[in-house]
Structure 1
Amino acid sequence: MLTDSEKKLIDEIKRGNTNAFSELVDIYKDLVFTLSLRMLANREEAEEVAQDTFLKIFNALPKFKGDSKVSTWIYRIAYNTCLDRLRANKKSRVFKDVAEMEGIIFKDMDNALDSMIMDERNAMVNACLAQLSSEDAGLLTLFYFEDKSLIEIEKVLNTPVGVLKVRLFRARKRFAKVLEMSFKSEIFQDNG
């Protein structure tokens, strides 16, 4: 169900208020881009898919009935747009380093060290996610990084909760295996 503020925002957009649509984009752009980046593992393609997603959202708004959360509806469009792009490309996914450290100026060494550790963790998580299928990466992103419940994911992916539980369990196992291999590889390289 829509909140009052979401309903007002959607109504304003339907009336042609471009500022209201800009507000909607501002609210959801980071979430759409994060999901796209995790699924596509390519910054440029993720940016294009995010733009395509918002074009689809704008065109589909007149048909939006409001029987689900706006965020759930937007995630579904973003997820399907990513899958469409993956199908269209039919090429293997290549991991690109998400953490771009160039040009960052730190105020003190503690902040710099904390930031570097977090960037390394993010890079490792992104590298491991990039080795998974797009579906696994998307599901893990929605559940763990976007904190979506299984019921919300059910609406986004149009997949029953029971099936999602099994897919999530298997995706976690595959992610853990990839993470374990990455750690072993890193340890081997450090000791070699």
Structure 2
Amino acid sequence: MEQKDEIIYIKRILEGEINLFSYFLDRYSHPIYSLIIQIVSCREDAEELVQDSFIKAFRKLDTYKGDCSFSTWLYRIAYNTAISATRKQKKESFFIDEKIIESVSDDEADDILSSSENEDRIKKLELALIQLNPDERALITLFYNEDKSIDELATIFKLTSSNVKVKLHRTRKKLCVLINNQ
């Protein structure tokens, strides 16, 4: 379904056909769960936060203006919901010296997520992803798993496109360091 069709559904929902919201639940539950589980790392918490995100979206549906895709708007709600939950938990994050991150070559950093053919490499990548902070995991998940564009990420994270590119690049370098230190 295209954005214009989703906008028609939204108008109909706002006019009282609330059963149509099930389309959005069916269409976006899995991608939203994929994002949230990367942030909170607990299946039960992620399932609850997915529900919370859809409830918030339903309640705020009248604020959707159509200036971005509905999925981007929904991802923004889900991201904020998950990040708020992690802030309450105060998880410990790993510190990596800035000099070590900067010592990783651009080629090595760019290659880190594209060369995951063997099982050992995939396991190392999964372990490294867990060590990233929630923002970094969300950014990597949305860009690589959900194929969100730089502009969509900028909207979701409320950053400029340039900042998103820098954060992606730095996060790839950080992943490289984490993988190589396992």
Q: TM-score, normalised by structure 2?
A: 0.79
**Matches of 1:42 and 1:119 in 2, distance apart?**
23
1:15 alignment counterpart: 15
**In the alignment, is the contact (CA less than 8 A) between 1:38 and 1:126 conserved in 2?**
no
Moved runs in structure 1, 4+ residues, more than 4 A? 117-124
1:145 maps to amino acid? N
CA–CA distance in structure 1, aligned partners of residues 58 and 69 of structure 2:
16
Aligned partner of 2:130: which letter?
A
**Which consecutive residues of structure 1, in runs of 5 or more, have no partner in the other structure?**
94-116, 183-192
- After superposition, the C-alpha distances for 1:116-149 in whole angstroms (9 at most, x for unaligned) are x998776543322111011111111111111111
Residue 88 and residue 155 in structure 1: after superposition, are their counterparts in 2 closer, same or farther (change >3 A)? same
| Alignment partner of 1:38 is 2:5 | no
- Matched to 2:177, the amino acid is K
1:89 aligns with 2:65: no
Kindly, what percent of the aligned residue pairs are identical?
36
> Which residue number corresponds to residue 158 of structure 1?
158
Are residues 173 and 51 of structure 1, via their aligned partners in 2, closer, same or farther at CA, if it must alter by over 3 Å? same
CA distance in 1, matches of 2:53, 2:91: 21
* Largest Rg, 1 or 2: 1
Query: Cα RMSD (Å) of the superposition?
Result: 2.0
In structure 2, list runs of 5 or more residues that go unmatched: 94-116
Paired residue for 1:70?
70
TM-score (norm: length of structure 1)? 0.75
* Shift in CA distance, 54/120, structure 1 to aligned 2, threshold 3 Å: farther
Give the aligned residue type for 1:4. Answer: K
Deviates more, 1:7-16 or 1:148-157: 7-16
Q: How many residues align?
A: 158
